[in-house]
A and B are shown apart, each in its own frame.
Chain A
Amino acid sequence: MRNIRLIARLDIKGPNLIKGIHLEGLRIIGLPNEHALRYYQQGIDELIYMDCVASLYGRNHLGDIVKAATKDIFVPITVGGGIRSIDDATDILRAGADKVAVNTAAVGNPQLITDIARRFGNQCMVLSIEAKQLSADSWEVYTDNGRERTGLDVLEWVKRGVELGAGEILLTSVDREGTRKGFDDALVKIVTAEVNVPVIASGGMGKPEDLLSVVIKGGADAVAMADILHYQRVGIREIRSIAQNACLGVRKYEQI
């Protein structure tokens, strides 16, 4: 069985690691790279750095933070927030990122998905989708860190995004984000049933069992975790062993 990936998501504002609820009401947690290094040493599979005010101010400020991270962190890094052009993507990849996550700019200019995928490969182009539930089986795409409605249906947009060249989907439930109520399994399920690229479930992980649920019921290929790790409520090793005990494939990792 394919190994699912355990990913730490670091939402960043200026120099700080922050955490909100429904992507709002941001609270400062500390310095991002101190947390990132701890996650690396505990065996995290990947990191996502998200500049959560970038769309508002029109640019991503994570270059220096990512550059510093790559000195002693040797797992894949995805960077998102305010990536609007090939030039922005080039800069952030040159700073040491492996993939770029694009949301707001892709909605405004879907061609950007194709441009990034052609230039750097599909594997590099992560389509970030912020979803809010409208009814039992429909979700709407939001942009600007969950602030702006788009009128786009999540399923339609995800299909289009993959056709345009997205190699991976970062699927954030704005409803669940920061609530610790568990992932939106139904949302993840409709997306994983529709596309053949990996889907990262994000938003709502309150306890390790939530991970089992979104993988088993939702079909997630990877899970993004934030406050469960930032507040040190549960360690990565414990999460890994709970997944293993439930017979989910995860990377075998020995503490270094």
Chain B
Amino acid sequence: MSKSEVVVIDYGVGNLLSVKRGLEHCGATVCLTADPQKILDAKRVVLPGVGAFSNAMQTLESLNLVTVIQELAQRQTPLLGICLGMQLLLDYSEEFGKTAGLGLIPGQVIPVPVRSLSDMVEKIPHIGWSELYPSSSNSEWHNTLLHDNFPGEAAYFVHSFMAVPTELCDRIADCLYGGHKISATISRGHITGCQFHPEKSGEVGLKILKRFCVD
């Protein structure tokens, strides 16, 4: 069997090496690039990201990658957004004023609540390992990238903003922070977003990357 090929969109900052190493560990051949044609021709694409939403969108815009990524959705190319890369999939973010996103999954990006349900002040950013649970009794992990994962497995999060999809059915897994449900994995068609870092979540995350590489 030939190795699966994954293109990781390289649009500036972020720890791309770890994403690459994680995918390679799962048997993939990885290409880091910002070349629109290579991205369009890819069998699978990862959109990583750390930092600020508006900066990331500006950079994608300046590299002419916004329409390219939207085109991937049309072509039904499997696309995995990680952390900020997940948030970019939505319609818009409230980080530093309202900024339009890629609009591939309906919804918005808002700050992680500072106050817990019991009105305690929570630390921001949310840094650390949090357990993943199905978002609703209807959210099936079967045939998603979480196919091999189990409710209660923990993944590594580091973020101050969170994605809120409009449709509950786009929400696969949540974690709890300060008692609030935060979307951890969202999915629509061939597009998946993980708020946590699968490449930094030990075996739990590698199972997700492996599933992405063979799906």
The reply to whether B25 and A72 contact each other, CB–CB distance below 8 Å, is yes
Q: List the A side residues contacting B128 at CB < 8 Å.
A: 2-5, 45, 198, 221-222, 251
Considering the chains assembled together, what is the distance between the CA atoms of A5 and B201 in angstroms? 13
Is A67 in contact with chain B by the CB < 8 A criterion?
Answer: yes
Closest Cβ–Cβ distance, residue A188 to chain B (whole Å): 14
Count the B residues whose beta carbon is within 8 Å of the partner chain — how many? 40
The reply to whether B158 and A76 contact each other, CB–CB distance below 8 Å, is yes
A residues 26-75 touching B (CB-CB < 8 Å): 40, 43, 45, 67, 70-72, 74-75
Q: List the A side residues contacting B17 at CB < 8 Å.
A: 67, 70, 94-96
The reply to whether A252 and B50 contact each other, CB–CB distance below 8 Å, is no
Q: List the A side residues contacting B117 at CB < 8 Å.
A: none
Q: Which one of A40, A75, A95, A221 lies within 8 Å of B156 (CB-CB)?
A: A75
The reply to whether A71 and B50 contact each other, CB–CB distance below 8 Å, is no
Q: List the A side residues contacting B168 at CB < 8 Å.
A: none
With A76-B156, A251-B154: A5-B129 Cβ-Cβ less than 8 Å: yes
Q: Which one of B51, B152, B197 lies within 8 Å of A121 (CB-CB)?
A: B51
With A3-B130, A122-B125, A197-B124: A74-B160 Cβ-Cβ less than 8 Å: no
Q: Which one of B18, B129, B131, B178 lies within 8 Å of A96 (CB-CB)?
A: B18
Considering the chains assembled together, what is the distance between the CA atoms of A123 and B128 in angstroms? 11
Is B21 in contact with chain A by the CB < 8 A criterion?
Answer: yes
The reply to whether B154 and A3 contact each other, CB–CB distance below 8 Å, is yes
Q: Which one of A5, A71, A75, A221 lies within 8 Å of B200 (CB-CB)?
A: A75
Is B15 in contact with chain A by the CB < 8 A criterion?
Answer: yes
0 or 1 for each of B67-78: is its CB under 8 Å from A? (1 = yes): 000000000000
The reply to whether A97 and B129 contact each other, CB–CB distance below 8 Å, is no
Is B52 in contact with chain A by the CB < 8 A criterion?
Answer: yes
Considering the chains assembled together, what is the distance between the CA atoms of A94 and B19 in angstroms? 11
A residues 198-251 touching B (CB-CB < 8 Å): 198, 221-222, 251
The reply to whether A121 and B50 contact each other, CB–CB distance below 8 Å, is yes
A residues 63-105 touching B (CB-CB < 8 Å): 67, 70-72, 74-76, 93-98
Is A150 in contact with chain B by the CB < 8 A criterion?
Answer: no
Q: Which one of A2, A74, A167, A168 lies within 8 Å of B205 (CB-CB)?
A: A74
Considering the chains assembled together, what is the distance between the CA atoms of A222 and B121 in angstroms? 17
Q: List the A side residues contacting B21 at CB < 8 Å.
A: 70-71, 74, 96
Q: List the B side residues contacting A70 at CB < 8 Å.
A: 17-18, 21
Considering the chains assembled together, what is the distance between the CA atoms of A224 and B154 in angstroms? 20
Q: Which one of B51, B154, B201, B203 lies within 8 Å of A119 (CB-CB)?
A: B51
Considering the chains assembled together, what is the distance between the CA atoms of A45 and B158 in angstroms? 13
Is A120 in contact with chain B by the CB < 8 A criterion?
Answer: yes
Considering the chains assembled together, what is the distance between the CA atoms of A40 and B200 in angstroms? 11
Q: List the B side residues contacting A71 at CB < 8 Å.
A: 21, 25
Is B189 in contact with chain A by the CB < 8 A criterion?
Answer: no
Q: List the A side residues contacting B205 at CB < 8 Å.
A: 74
Is B123 in contact with chain A by the CB < 8 A criterion?
Answer: yes
Considering the chains assembled together, what is the distance between the CA atoms of A123 and B121 in angstroms? 18
Considering the chains assembled together, what is the distance between the CA atoms of A197 and B160 in angstroms? 11
Is B43 in contact with chain A by the CB < 8 A criterion?
Answer: no
Q: List the B side residues contacting A197 at CB < 8 Å.
A: 123-125
Is A196 in contact with chain B by the CB < 8 A criterion?
Answer: yes
Considering the chains assembled together, what is the distance between the CA atoms of A198 and B13 in angstroms? 23
Interface of A toward B, CB cutoff 8 Å: 2-5, 40, 43, 45, 67, 70-72, 74-76, 93-98, 119-124, 167-168, 196-198, 221-222, 251-253, 256
10 closest residue pairs by CB, A with B? A251-B129, A121-B51, A96-B17, A251-B154, A123-B158, A70-B21, A123-B125, A76-B200, A256-B203, A121-B50
Interface of B toward A, CB cutoff 8 Å: 13-18, 21-22, 25, 50-52, 114, 121-125, 127-131, 152-154, 156, 158-160, 177-178, 197, 199-203, 205-206
Identify 11 residue pairs between A and B in the complex whose beta-carbon atoms are under 8 Å apart, listed by A's number: A2-B128, A3-B130, A45-B129, A75-B202, A96-B17, A119-B51, A120-B50, A123-B125, A124-B50, A196-B114, A197-B124
